[in-house]
């Protein structure tokens, strides 16, 4: 009987003292028979490292611990962990998220049965403050992702449409094409880089992860998101500008960041309302070329 391929389940964590047990237990509880756990602690100031090591040491699962003495960005941490991996495949997990127990088994089965190089999947979002769980995608969003797989780069180059928790990828690709350490949205950047080089992406239509959303999540920091968006899209700006629809989406996304930042910087409701009106006007100027249609729509939207 052939031995199933070794998978390196990489957990990147920092100050996740409250959540690391759930992440580690989801890693330990995988039904897949052949995997290692590599946990990298990014110089946590709490008991994340001690709690993780104490838990992982209680089980027979193969694991290794890495502890940074200084803090780095997520991309560099992943690159460090990948350099220690022995598996044929890598599955990435943040220390505040967690997997379903069949996550690795489903991914290995999918990549063995389909001509793809890396995989995303469906899952859940968990809102910590509200203690609320929702689907990671609406039915419409998920259909868009699945329908766009054969043209993934084009469909995602002006806007990230995927939830990238639990990315599963051939190790050789991450060795050949390390994560860009200058970018915060390193997962979107990696998706574009691999698909731009014609590596194939797959999507498992099963819920295999839980993505924890905190008030401190990057998705709530509009300035950082704008910076990352511009860094990623700058790599492909000629491609974006060459396509009228892509360029329109790109400009609308920059307008979105502009006004979200302005709104986050004021507490005045009157000022916020003024900004929302200006946002609407600027958005319509980009979306509609016909001035008559523009003003008719503007009046309808008020």
Above 60 in pLDDT, residue 54?
yes
Q: In 3D, which of 158, 153, 165, 179 has the Cα closest to residue 229?
A: 158
- The string of pLDDT tens digits covering residues 174-220 is 999 999 999 989 999 999 999 999 999 999 999 999 999 987 655 55
The predicted structure's pLDDT at residue 215: 72
The answer to whether 155 touches 203, Cβ cutoff 8 Å, is: no
For a pLDDT cut of 70, what percent of the chain falls above it?
93
What residues contact 129, with CB distance under 8 A and at least 6 apart? Answer: 214, 215
Nearest to 93 by CA among 32, 16, 4: 16
Residues 43-54 have a mean pLDDT of 96
Residue 92 has pLDDT above 90, yes or no: yes
For residue range 106-153, what is the model confidence (pLDDT) as tens digits? 999 999 999 999 999 999 999 998 999 999 999 999 999 999 999 999
Is it the case that residue 53 has pLDDT exceeding 70? yes
Average pLDDT of the residues of the chain: 93
Domains and CATH numbers, the chain: 7-218 (3.90.550.10), 221-301 (no CATH)
| Calpha distance 166→211 (Å, rounded) | 9
Q: Residue 104 and residue 30: Cα distance in Å, rounded?
A: 7
User: Closest by alpha carbon to 126, among 198, 26, 54?
Assistant: 26
pTM of the entire predicted model: 0.90
pLDDT, residue 287, reads 84
Kindly indicate the confidence band of residue 297, based on its pLDDT and cuts at 50, 70 and 90: low
CB burial of residue 90 (10 Å; 0-12, 13-18, 19+): buried
For residue 112, what pLDDT is reported? Answer: 96
Q: Does residue 47 contact residue 60 with C-beta atoms inside 8 Å?
A: no
Q: Which position has the token pair 């994340």? A: 48
Query: pLDDT-based confidence at 16, cuts 50/70/90?
Result: very high
Q: pLDDT category, 288, cuts 50, 70, 90?
A: confident
Instruction: With cut-offs at 50, 70 and 90, classify the pLDDT of residue 40.
Output: very high
| Interval 208-260: pLDDT, tens | 999 999 876 555 588 888 999 999 999 999 999 999 999 999 999 999 999 99
Average pLDDT over residues 57-72: 95
pLDDT value for 2: 82
């Amino acid at each position: 009987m052939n031995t199933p391929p070794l998978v390196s389940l990489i957990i990147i964590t920092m100050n996740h003292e409250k959540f690391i047990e759930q992440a580690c237990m989801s890693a330990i509880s995988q039904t897949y028979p052949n995997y290692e756990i590599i946990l990298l602690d990014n110089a946590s100031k709490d008991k994340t490292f001690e709690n993780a090591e104490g838990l992982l040491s209680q089980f027979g699962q193969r694991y290794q611990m890495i502890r940074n003495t200084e803090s780095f960005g997520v991309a560099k941490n992943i690159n460090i962990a990948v350099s220690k991996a022995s598996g044929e495949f890598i599955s990435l997990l943040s220390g505040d998220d967690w997997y379903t127990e069949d996550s690795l088994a489903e991914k290995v089965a999918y990549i063995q049965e389909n001509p793809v190089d890396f995989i995303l999947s469906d899952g859940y979002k968990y809102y910590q403050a509200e203690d609320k769980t929702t689907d990671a995608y609406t039915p419409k969003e998920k259909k868009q992702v699945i329908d766009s797989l054969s043209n993934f780069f084009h469909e995602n180059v002006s806007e990230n449409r995927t939830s990238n928790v639990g990315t599963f990828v051939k190790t050789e690709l991450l060795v050949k094409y390390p994560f860009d350490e200058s970018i915060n949205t390193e997962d979107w950047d990696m998706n574009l880089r691999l698909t731009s080089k014609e590596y194939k992406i797959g999507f498992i239509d099963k819920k295999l992860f839980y993505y924890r959303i905190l008030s401190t999540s990057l998705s709530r920091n509009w300035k950082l998101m704008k910076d990352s968006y511009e860094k990623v899209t700058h790599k492909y700006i000629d491609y974006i500008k060459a396509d009228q629809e892509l360029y329109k989406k790109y400009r609308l996304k920059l307008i979105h960041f502009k006004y979200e930042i302005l709104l986050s910087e004021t507490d005045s409701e009157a000022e916020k309302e003024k900004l929302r009106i200006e946002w609407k006007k600027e958005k319509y100027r980009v979306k509609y070329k016909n001035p008559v249609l523009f003003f008719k729509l503007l009046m309808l939207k008020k």
